[in-house]
Amino acid sequence: MQASKAYEANFDGLVGPTHNYAGLSFGNVASRSNEKSVANPKAAAKQGLRKMKRLADLGFQQGVLPPLERPSIRLLRDVGFSGDDASVIARAAREAPELLAAASSASAMWTANAATVSPSADTEDGRVHFTPANLAAKLHRAIEHGETRRSLGAIFADEARFRIHHALPGTPALGDEGAANHTRFAREYGDKGVEFFVYGKSEYGQGPQPQRYPARQTLEASRAVARLHGLSSDATVFAQQSPDVIDAGVFHNDVIAVGNRTTLFCHERAFVDQHKVYDELRTKLDALGTPFTALEVPESEVSVEDAVSSYLFNSQLLSGADGRQLLIVPQECRENARVAAYLDSLASRKTPIDEVLVFDLRESMKNGGGPACLRLRVVLDEAERAAVNARVWMNDALFTQLDAWIDRHYRDRLAPADLADPKLLAESRAALDELTTILGLGAVYDFQR
């Protein structure tokens, strides 16, 4: 039964002032292949901001999530560097540049990894639940969840409507990568749905595992999040990602699959026992009176390598007010001949995808993050939407403010060696201090020294 009108809002992460290519993410092909190249933080932030504005102009609910404080002086002090802030950075640059790189990463821009979100229609207590991801597989991301929780708390502050959990314990056995390995199917956003959790391995069970790159999400973590959110077993499906595609660079499920309402768009090699996965989704959705369509892309038309290089599946699949589905893809999809040919054929195939929109997200893509990486999906009914911090919703005025803010505070060139510049910390803190006023975030940053 549909409770009330609801919307899927996308909350995109603003790219932070320390956006750089340090190549920190083993298993992420783009991240490692662009290691040590020069980044343009200003261009990166503006590319993401323009995507947000375009989608808001098209009528989609579009919010903004702030960057985290970087470089993280807290991390550097926790690993033994002392003195004033400039001394901490200088010593880390000399003695452990890899730790300075981790402390300076702007990876929180990819808010698909910020948390897993379950809407109130699915949860036992009727609240929207958030569990920040512990991101235990990578140091530069494992330090994010406490700050992420504070940001979410500043935006979704009404405890009667929103429940923000703590991250799972930060151990590999409970490795949790957030919404990048989670999607949800429902006839309408406000209906009760089926939540789809994808994992790379089971820490304690038997089953195939990747051999080249690590599996970051565990079955145990996915089940724990489902329990925390009060989800019923008849409305959850847990599927294992194919180990061979992880070894091909598919480090999260959203590099090989994307879902929306009643449609799953994925590669034919996405999951272990793929057709059994479809059958379980179809059966559980059928019990809710909800249809299900799997739009499967064959290897013969688009290889896994093509999918990884173009990020075809790291796209946003969105339903407009008229019910038409839009696929939001990066421009790299147009630069890959096989992927472009597949996209051009969608209209003649009579698929659930009605239109393809292309965006320039080159700076994010070079670090391994496409349109889907940049957004966190949050289904909200009208009352819940009204309870969100109103100043984070994208509109003409906020776009103008943020565009000018980026011009004031961001560099147009940043190489990994520039992370040793103590001025970068002062610039970043000045930017974030002003951002708290623009977005009405209060004391979300503690500028820990």
Task: Report, as residue numbers or ranges, the catalytic residues.
Answer: 177, 252, 373
Strand partners, 260: 263
State both tokens at 17.
Answer: 């002032």
CA 305/CA 166 separation, integer angstroms: 36
- The secondary element (H helix, E strand) that includes residue 239 is strand 236-240
CA 36/CA 34 separation, integer angstroms: 6
| CA distances, 205 to each of 187, 227, 345 (Å) | 33, 19, 41
In angstroms and rounded to an integer, the radius of gyration of the C-alpha atoms of the chain is: 21
- DSSP states of 386-431: HHS-GGGB--HHHHHHHHHHHHHH--S-B-GGGGG-THHHHHHHHH
The residues, ordered by sequence, that sit 6+ positions from 159 with a Cβ below 8 Å of its Cβ are none
CA 155/CA 11 separation, integer angstroms: 11
Closest CA to 122 of 241, 278, 290, 353: 290
The residues, ordered by sequence, that sit 6+ positions from 35 with a Cβ below 8 Å of its Cβ are 21, 22, 23
Peptide bond into 71 cis (omega under 30): yes
State both tokens at 155.
Answer: 């935006």
